[in-house]
Structure 1
């Protein structure tokens, strides 16, 4: 290292040293007192450092630093090699300073993402390679030799012209021993905390530790978490598997494009396209799914909050002895019985008006305004009919799975007062404990069926036995 002697350096508050190749400049401080950024920049200029100065970092050092600690404040620009990588070879996990001066400690961009058919690395023709610069501004000529690509590893192919490597799948790239691979699953061995920040990934994620409060996970495929999930947000295009408990503190949120499978959740919002399966219970949460909610077979409970499913809800206990308000609902988020009746009433009104129009005018030719009105009414009627057709088409997959079509709610243990049972636009307030019952809709009302035989036999007879038991990994 070459030390630059500058007697004017704020009364020797620091020294500046350059690496032998002048590609790095360091500052070592003798005091923790506030310093002038302008004077520090002037001293760097006097020391010959003109390129690659990290001004944001220098501002931080002017305000606070550790005496005796050496800090890298400038880096030269290396000349372009024979190949160019289109992803960061090293993920630098450090907070970023935002344009408004604030520091972002949450988004550290821990994972490099590449997508299918993306160019990962390509050769640069010798005549197009750019020279570099030292921190003192000296030019560094590029290498004009023949470029050599890494070997193509897993999920990577060589381009037709042999000048590039291309990803075959979405995932994260790994360069090891001059072999480049892309893996669709990323595994984090520790916690999601300030050391890694929020995670965003185009493949599947496996988290071996916890997800701490305030952090988020966004994943295009599946997410598996082995630790505890605190007040966090988790979003996956595929399924989410939670091996630990979840404590949302009324701020956490989980959203899945597939199934959610877990143990116990408390005070969190869960939205899923597939089934929600929990082996122990739900407390004070909001669950919504396009499929079924299955809670723990013989021991699972749902206490407080709202649980809403399109197909079925099965649990041991609903509510608690303390009569905690709990809403259990079978309904469609995109259509309900009330909307169906309103749509049919609208169609009937349009048809009646059209008939009255014909009766009034008979065979006479309609005037343009009246004709236009009739045409618009016809379009409205057709749109309403199309809406109904789409609705019934979306619900048709339920018919072979549930004999009652609109879904069922099953409590193999006890349903306590304070629970509200909703099926479509109907609701039923529970005023006294019920034991081993099934709720279903028939004849325009919610009916209750006693589970007279064993739980398994009753569920099988009603066509919903499959899936009540939690799967084991």
Structure 2
């Protein structure tokens, strides 16, 4: 057999080698081994193929793969794994109202937002000449810590430095303390619930709910909606609540006007103009700087100031200092309910005693009386549970707010008749109009004095 009857062909990438055979009668393993060695092929030789060629030489012209390298395994790119959802979609199962449109992606200070799963280096390959074939290592994700976030290299994690809205912008993770609505609240945004502060550069229409752990600022007006803030509430225009609006703040409320709404401030309530036919509570002070308080009830911890209290039409108006009138009224209702339940319990107890006397006298009760006895025991059990729940509610309620030592009510212009003024448990009904006066509690008596 002549060598020209076969030759070695190596692929351009050096990963495969074939022997091109012409018609041959026989070939030895040593000849083929020397042939490959002479071409420098030392790796990936298919020994079983060599043996097959020796045992059954090809009778026709053919190319046979006799060596194959190992392909490199490229590394995998690193991944960003978010611990917090980035989407604003609302889970349909958690949707309580058709106005629940978006869920603001929120994080708390110290929360891990995301982590980087590292890339892998991959595994190098080897060609038929025994040469290393370099793999492509994976890439590290291009992500950095943006505003109000930090990156922990040891943990390969991104962490929030503040409470706020989570966002991903310009390859950076950020936490924004403010969620902003550029216009009126509508069905594009729906109800809002956010761990930071909310700014609405428009109005809040009837039926919407806005809740924030921080502040809420509305640059328009609020209709019959609910606003609840852990911080302060600022409403540029005011609230026209139709008796259904509710504004609560852990700190101050600053508002243009209040009309038929419930407003409660954990600290001070500042009303630029008037408060009309509303229930207002401030745990410190209420100031109607340029307007009046007409109708409804206003409760404050230690002071109330306004231009006028009540009006010439003698609209009944209540001012209560040192006591939360709203809570006090609820306590009164609970007391009435509790009294009725106690009376009901006494009747049920008497029915039970009467049935027991009959049983002792007759030896046993009739079928009808046994049914009555079962109903009596069931009703008594339910009644006692209701009494317990009412008593627990009463324990948790405290209508007292503020300190009466320096408490006062001041009207720059008038305090009109039909105004009820209370300092703690002391109440005075104003029967005639008074001008430029203030009222204080002195030795258990409410005293009216001229302003200086």
Q: TM-score, normalised by structure 2?
A: 0.60
Of 269, 273, 276, the match for 1:280: 273
What's the offset of the Cα at 1:87?
Answer: 3.1
Of 69, 73, 80, the match for 1:83: 80
Query: Measured at CA, do residues 430 and 280 of structure 1 come closer, stay the same or move farther in structure 2, by a change above 3 Å?
Result: same
Q: Which runs of 5+ in 1 are unaligned?
A: 1-78, 128-142, 337-390, 399-403, 452-457, 459-473
1:150 pairs with 2:161? no
| Paired position in structure 2 for 1:242 | 235
Give the Cα–Cα distance (whole angstroms) in 2 for the partners of residues 160 and 415 of structure 1: 67
Of 289, 305, 309, the match for 2:300: 309
| Paired position in structure 2 for 1:411 | 411
| Aligned 1:26-425 pairs, distance under 5 A | 82-92=79-89, 97-98=92-93, 104-124=97-117, 145-161=138-154, 163-296=156-289, 299-333=290-324, 405=405, 407-425=407-425
Q: Which has the larger radius of gyration?
A: 2
Partner SS for 1:316: strand
In the alignment, is the contact (CA less than 8 A) between 2:221 and 2:238 conserved in 1? yes
Q: TM-score, normalised by structure 1?
A: 0.57
| Paired position in structure 1 for 2:384 | none
Give the Cα–Cα distance (whole angstroms) in 1 for the partners of residues 77 and 139 of structure 2: 13
* CA offset digits 1:207-253 (Å, max 9, x no partner): 11111111111111111110110111111111111101201111111
What's the offset of the Cα at 1:126?
Answer: 6.5
What's the offset of the Cα at 1:106?
Answer: 1.4
Give the Cα–Cα distance (whole angstroms) in 1 for the partners of residues 84 and 237 of structure 2: 34
* CA offset digits 1:417-448 (Å, max 9, x no partner): 22111111111112221111111111221111
In the alignment, is the contact (CA less than 8 A) between 1:154 and 1:183 conserved in 2? yes
In the alignment, is the contact (CA less than 8 A) between 1:82 and 1:145 conserved in 2? no
* CA offset digits 1:391-422 (Å, max 9, x no partner): 99x96xx5xxxxx7151001111111221111
What's the offset of the Cα at 1:308?
Answer: 0.5
Query: Measured at CA, do residues 218 and 295 of structure 1 come closer, stay the same or move farther in structure 2, by a change above 3 Å?
Result: same
In the alignment, is the contact (CA less than 8 A) between 2:77 and 2:140 conserved in 1? no
What's the offset of the Cα at 1:332?
Answer: 3.5
What's the offset of the Cα at 1:104?
Answer: 3.8
Give the Cα–Cα distance (whole angstroms) in 2 for the partners of residues 145 and 323 of structure 1: 81
What's the offset of the Cα at 1:91?
Answer: 2.3
Partner SS for 2:221: coil
Partner SS for 2:245: strand
In the alignment, is the contact (CA less than 8 A) between 2:77 and 2:138 conserved in 1? no
Runs of 4+ in structure 1 deviating by more than 4 angstroms, as ranges, are 95-99, 333-336
In the alignment, is the contact (CA less than 8 A) between 1:126 and 1:145 conserved in 2? yes
Give the Cα–Cα distance (whole angstroms) in 2 for the partners of residues 104 and 224 of structure 1: 23
Partner SS for 2:193: strand
Query: Measured at CA, do residues 284 and 103 of structure 1 come closer, stay the same or move farther in structure 2, by a change above 3 Å?
Result: closer
